[in-house]
Amino acid sequence: MNDTGSSAMEPRNLSAARSWLAQDPDPETRDELTALIASSDDPEAQAELEDRFGTRLAFGTAGLRGELGAGTNRMNRVLVAQAAAGLAAYLAENGSDDETPSVVVGYDGRRNSQRFALDSAEIFAGAGLHAILLPRMLPTPVLAFAVRYFNASAGVMVTASHNPPNDNGYKVYLGGDDQGSQIVPPADGEIARHIDRVATGGDITRIPRHLGYVRAGDDVVEAYIAATAAVAPAPESAAGMQWVYTAMHGVGWETTSRVVSAAGFPAPTVVSEQIDPDPAFPTVSFPNPEEPGAMDLAFETARSSNAEFVLANDPDADRLAVAVPDGAADGGWRRLSGNEVGLLLGWRAARRAAESREEQGTPTTTDVSLACSLVSSPGLEVIADHYGLDFFATLTGFKWISRAPGMAFGFEEALGYLVNPETVRDKDGISAAIAMLGLAADARGRGTTISGLLAEFEQTFGYFASDQISIRVEDLSVIDTIMTLLRKDQPDRFGTVKVKRVDDLLTGIDDLPPGNVLRFWLKGGSRIIVRPSGTEPKLKLYLDVRGSSAADAAERLAALTAGAREVLDSLS
């Protein structure tokens, strides 16, 4: 058994595993790695070592995100220490000579989140930075808010959002001119190079640490609550409103409940099994409101409490799901798509911008804009045109959406909404929930419902329908192969619908930065967009149609979805 000394014949990555073990401060990951090294003659152990050390978890525009465990391809204390030291070096290099860079650190309720946050704060303080640790586990939007509240140079949020239970992540925000938005190129690449230099330098135990970080008081949370409650103060019609809320075993409830109370809305009936933080996520197989079955307990609670609608946050509360009765005799419920919610909130923002313009007597042309990711519904552009607002379609992710000039509202179809850009420059599931409560209460005052608002939207702007196809893979090379084949031999039709034009965003187009995205424009105004997921091992296809009626849009979408699946089958 090759468990002493290195040799030319020892299994691949064994030397890297030993070096890692020598610096790992975590007893749990040390134990798992020690067992692997001791079993390194076993082919299964060798495969596991290759998976853990054959590559490195990449730091990019989403920071770091991956499975917990020992190794360069896992989330752990060694990798977090390297990331914190690399970010500290970047901030010191790019800061002004007369001001000490500052970093605010937040964390959610996932496994190791608090430990990773403490490590980061100690390393930032050890590097001579002003480090501020949020007072307890809190939602991601509070961290994004805190970057601006403290006028910090940067922020770090330890979270894996809605990923599987054994994942964690490290999301980075920048202050100053970036206004608390997530990092984008070239900052991500520069930070990654600093991290690589730290990793190449060897033992993390030599990274300076200091306990001189500051623990923030509750004033930052109170300020977030006040600003978010102001998004939609409750009207009189909210009295008696019955609704259900679930935190999906995450950290959303404490903050959300205080915002709801401050805004004057009635408290919801909560899904008690999911209301408290629990890193095991015991009632869901996947803690994402988009996943089948994730909201079943919320629907049961809604039926038993005679609720009018359901609101759900994901575990770090930066996303929002909305569900309504489906009108069936059996008391069924359906979750609205991210596009449906985004269009309702976009319509709300556009009306408010128009009302403000009328009050101020400003011209119809304005620099106020609506923005969404290019894979989100084209209906938002129709809203913007209707109200004389600017419109921007960006690459996927709020790191791009949040930077749209003059933005009053931004969204992406993956349940992300930015309704209060003066407060948070990132998606915020809590402020979006307050905005939806306001819409629901206003509709209630007019004798209608959220479903009624959707019908009003269609009568005003037309009938839009969207679908998504996701292909989850074990081997990421499968995604690369499909994208290569689609570029090499572009389909001329999807089913019976002909392709009119193809945009390959790999080299950049329409003033968008380069991205691994293919956009197929189809006859009749339909479109299909294909891209790899930025946070999960998935290939995603986004399908959008516009019809003359709801039935026509649904029929067009069904045909387009079938045609897209045929193309995918031909590539496998």
Task: Please indicate whether residue 161 is annotated as part of the active site.
Answer: yes
Tell me the pLDDT of the chain averaged across its residues.
93
Q: Exposure pattern of 334-371 as b/e (b: 16+ CB <10 Å)?
A: ebbbbbbbbbbbbbbbbeebbeebeeeeeeeebebbbb
Q: Name the residue with higher pLDDT: 396 or 401.
A: 401
Host H or E run for residue 545: strand 538-547
- 475 against 116, higher pLDDT: 116
Q: What is the pLDDT of residues 48-57, one digit of tens each?
A: 999 999 999 9
Give residue-wise pLDDT tens across range 476-508.
889 999 999 999 989 999 998 999 999 999 877
| Prediction pTM value | 0.93
Sign of the torsion formed by the C-alpha atoms of 391, 395, 397 and 403: negative
pLDDT on residue 11 = 62
Q: How far, in Å, are 79, 117, 121, 442, 484 from residue 196 at the CA level?
A: 10, 20, 20, 53, 29
SS (H, E, C) 450-494: HHHHHHHHHHHHCEEEEEEEEEECCCCHHHHHHHHHHHHCCCCEE
* pLDDT (0 to 100) of residue 364: 56
Confidence label for 4 from pLDDT (cuts 50, 70 and 90): very low
Domains with residue ranges and CATH for the chain: 55-217 (3.40.120.10), 222-332 (3.40.120.10), 339-461 (3.40.120.10), 463-571 (3.30.310.50)
The tokens for 74 are: 């896992």
201-219, pLDDT tens digit by residue?
Answer: 889 999 999 999 999 999 9
Comparing CA positions, the residue from 21, 116, 115, 37 lying closest to residue 72 is: 21
Catalytic annotation, pick one of 40, 113, 161, 402:
161
